Amino acid sequence: VRESRELQEQSVRDALTGSYNRRKLEAFESAQRDAGWGVVNIDLDHFKQVNDRQGHDQGDQVLIEFTRFLDRCAGMGDAVVRLGGDEFALLLAGADEARLQEVVAKLSDGSMQAPCAFSMGSSLREEGESLSATLARADSRMYSVRAATRTSAPA
């Protein structure tokens, strides 16, 4: 029984960072179906340059440290998910607007302690919405914010 639980846990964990992987999404959605959720999508800025300039070992270390940063911002019942590459999601269990904004503020306020710059977008589940739809809205907001900040920055 213990081995079965360990194998199940390994199957939903990212081997590099120890965060959850995409397999966690379905389990989270099922567990939170009645409670709702909030989502913060996070993408590391210019991560390719870290790998290109400092090597993949250093890039891996940045991903590990970034996961730790997100873990410090997560609450009980929340899940840090590595969606792939340099993309993460923070799934907030049973969150309302106040909780979502609290976590976004914590991420923003702590951004200088993160191992690299990042962009983020957030969404709160709408009535009857799937987790994938909430993630898509948060992702869209993240790209909108990123586009606005990159075009408004001095050249």
Question: What residues are annotated to the active site?
Answer: 86
Instruction: Specify whether the CB–CB gap between 80 and 90 falls below 8 A.
Output: yes
Length of the chain, in residues: 155
For residues 121 and 145, the answer to whether their CB atoms sit within 8 Å is yes
DSSP-assigned beta bridge partners for residue 13: 20
What's the CA angle centered on 108, arms 88 and 141, to 5 degrees?
55
